[in-house]
Amino acid sequence: MNTVFQQDMEKICSADFIAWERLKDKTILVTGATGLIGSSVVNALLYANSRRSLHLTVLALVRDPGKAAARFAAYQQDPCLRLVVGTVENLPAIDGPVDYILHGASQTASKAFIQQPVETIITAVQGTLNLLQLARSKQSQGMVYLSSMEAYGHPAKGHKVTESDAGALSSLDIRNSYPISKQQCEALCCAFASEYQVPVMIARLTQTFGPGVDYDDNRIFAYLGRCVLEKQDIVLKTKGETERDYLYTADAVTGLLTILLKGSPGTAYNLADEETYCSIAEMAEMLAREAGIRVQYDLQDHSANGYLSTLYMDLDTSRLKSLGWSVLYPGGLSEIYRRMILCMTKK
């Protein structure tokens, strides 16, 4: 475990706004467990389990056991971690109690939203229905569905987005297979909370990154990190006008656990670091200045890759903060990138 990751685990474990005592002797199912957020949650739970003597069990639902072994190398011999091999679409039988569920399994590759829209929708809707039915049958004490800021559609520039805002999305735009399926899953969560009293909450996350990002990840934050490490000029293929908040992985973990243990059923919570709000171009220019490199523009049409059109997504996190949550590292984007880059290893 490297120093940055160790520091993050300590910070998470020491967060006094998380109701850790509620996890004692409990079983927590995490779907999407080998993804960036899912693996961060699993590692944090197992770390806290050891440091706080929680005697919990983590069930990690994974498609690829090999990838899971690499993600959780430090806990391969830990009896508190159980790998469940399967998919959310065809959920395997799970014996014993499932006290809490963090449902993060989802298609995340923008290109797949265009090229595999049917699978994108099925994974989201059928997978979430399966998890909600599991939570109901197991009488789970809490469940969090990881939704997305994209559920808000395209808010106006300068608008502060609260959870009461409704997103207008065209069902005829194939790229919307992702955000509309997120909306449908949110509706399922609210329906199960209302009709069957399943204690499920919704987390609407902004773009999240930090330690654990693969070196060759094709998302913009990883590309910028590689440019800094390799001292290569940043080349943007758009004007970089999209503006949004970002979130550090450790803050995503503490936010999700706060919602899981303190949230109100059928309620949505924005999850972002409001201090990071900026455009992609501004973010690139900031990193370039600090690294002594330049930003160049090679404008191209990337609509076929599923990239969003210009977006303005300034999330209001007051509702989550009312539960006691706050960011662990208040240094903004510069600190998030510094910590991520320290952990990025070229393969």
130-180 pLDDT tens trace: 999 999 999 999 999 999 999 999 999 999 999 999 888 999 999 999 999
In CATH, which superfamily holds the domain spanning 3-212+245-276+313-329? NAD(P)-binding Rossmann-like Domain (3.40.50.720)
Inform me whether the pLDDT recorded for 330 exceeds 90: no
Distances (CA, A) of 199 to 29, 65, 75: 15, 30, 30
233 close to 207: Cβ distance less than 8 angstroms:
no
Q: What is the pLDDT of residue 98?
A: 98
Q: What is the pLDDT of residue 232?
A: 96
Task: Extract the tokens encoding 158.
Answer: 């300068």
Give residue 209's Cα distance to chain centre: 9
298 close to 238: Cβ distance less than 8 angstroms:
no
Q: What is the mean pLDDT of residues 26-55?
A: 97
Q: What is the pLDDT of residue 303?
A: 61
Q: What is the pLDDT of residue 76?
A: 87
The dihedral through the CA atoms of 191, 194, 199, 204 has a sign that is positive
Inform me whether the pLDDT recorded for 335 exceeds 80: yes
Task: Extract the tokens encoding 68.
Answer: 């899971």
Which helix H or strand E contains 67, and what residues bound it? Answer: helix 65-71
The mean of the pLDDT values for the chain is 94
Task: Extract the tokens encoding 6.
Answer: 């160790």
Q: What is the pLDDT of residue 306?
A: 57
Q: What is the pLDDT of residue 302?
A: 60
174 close to 120: Cβ distance less than 8 angstroms:
no
247 close to 205: Cβ distance less than 8 angstroms:
yes
Q: Which of 238, 320, 317 is nearest to 280 (CA)?
A: 238
Inform me whether the pLDDT recorded for 346 exceeds 70: no
- The full length of the chain comes to 347
Q: pLDDT class for 299, splitting at 50, 70, 90?
A: confident
Inform me whether the pLDDT recorded for 127 exceeds 80: yes
Those residues whose C-beta lies under 8 Å from the C-beta of residue 322, and which sit 6 or more positions away, are none
pTM value is 0.95
Q: pLDDT class for 347, splitting at 50, 70, 90?
A: very low
* Number of alpha carbons in the 13 Å side-chain half-sphere of residue 138: 24
Inform me whether the pLDDT recorded for 333 exceeds 90: yes
Where is pLDDT greater, at 22 or 307? 22
Q: Where are the domains of the chain?
A: 3-212+245-276+313-329
What is the DSSP secondary-structure string of 190-244? HHHHHHS---EEEEEE-EEESTT--TT--SHHHHHHHHHHHT--EEESS----EE
